[in-house]
């Protein structure tokens, strides 16, 4: 089964005829580690499915430093949602942190597919899930220290810690890389003792 069909079917039932319409508008792409899929200021007119690989979203802060917003682990859908939906220039950058296999479809095709009940339900559930994740990260930022959040990542998202350079994890946690080193040192020494 096509990996994207398998992914959609983890949310909704997709008939063969609906899947044929979806598959007809998909294009396969490969991105190399480090490659930028989308740059701030560009119009994001694609909906993407990450079959294999690992991505990060980041923005540039006033001082020119990069701030990592979040990570995307395959298999998952992604886009620059605000740009995609409202036809504004993107305010974020998307970078492959590993060699990645991506399926993309044009914005207009993605909108046309909303005529299909399966696709429309899939998109609703997907946005809802993304909303949950975003809200969860927000709640943690509001209520937890960087140390607590790092420990939570260790238990719940350890794959991100395995895959991502530490500087991006530090930036995601909103702290300096040196602070993350201190937290890690403290955590591992407390586990040894």
- Contact pick of 127, 159, 166, 176 for its own copies (by CB under 8 A): 127
Closest CA to 11 of 119, 104, 132: 119
Quick check: 37 and 128 in contact, CB under 8 A? no
- Contact pick of 2, 82, 163, 184 for its own copies (by CB under 8 A): 82
Asked if residue 145 binds its own copies (CB under 8 A), the reply is no
Asked if residue 124 binds its own copies (CB under 8 A), the reply is yes
Q: Which stretch binds its own copies (CB under 8 A): 7-15, 34-42, 71-79, 123-131?
A: 123-131
Asked if residue 87 binds its own copies (CB under 8 A), the reply is no
Cα gap 179→193, rounded to integer Å: 21
- Contact pick of 137, 147, 151, 184 for its own copies (by CB under 8 A): 137
Asked if residue 121 binds its own copies (CB under 8 A), the reply is yes
- Contact pick of 10, 142, 162, 178 for its own copies (by CB under 8 A): 142
**Minimum distance from CB of 138 to its own copies (Å)?**
5
- Positions touching its own copies (CB under 8 A) are 59, 61, 67, 69, 81-82, 85, 114, 120-121, 123-124, 127-128, 130-132, 134-135, 137-139, 141-143, 172, 174
């Amino acid at each position: 089964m096509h990996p994207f069909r398998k992914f959609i079917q983890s949310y909704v039932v997709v008939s063969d005829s609906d899947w044929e319409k979806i598959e007809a508008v998909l294009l396969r792409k490969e991105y190399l580690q480090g490659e930028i899929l989308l740059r701030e200021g560009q119009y994001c007119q694609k909906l993407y499915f990450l079959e294999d690989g690992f991505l990060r979203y980041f923005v540039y802060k006033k001082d020119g430093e990069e701030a990592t917003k979040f990570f995307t682990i395959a298999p998952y859908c992604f886009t620059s949602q605000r740009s995609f939906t409202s036809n504004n220039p993107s305010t974020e950058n998307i970078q492959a942190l590993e060699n990645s296999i991506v399926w993309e479809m044009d914005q207009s095709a993605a909108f046309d597919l909303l005529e299909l009940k399966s696709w429309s339900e899939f998109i609703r559930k997907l946005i809802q899930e993304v909303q949950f994740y975003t809200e969860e990260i927000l709640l943690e930022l509001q209520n937890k220290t960087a140390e607590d959040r790092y420990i939570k990542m260790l238990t719940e998202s350890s794959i991100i810690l395995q895959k991502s350079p530490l500087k991006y994890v530090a930036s995601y946690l909103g702290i300096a890389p040196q602070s993350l080193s201190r937290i890690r040192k403290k955590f591992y020494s407390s586990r040894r003792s």
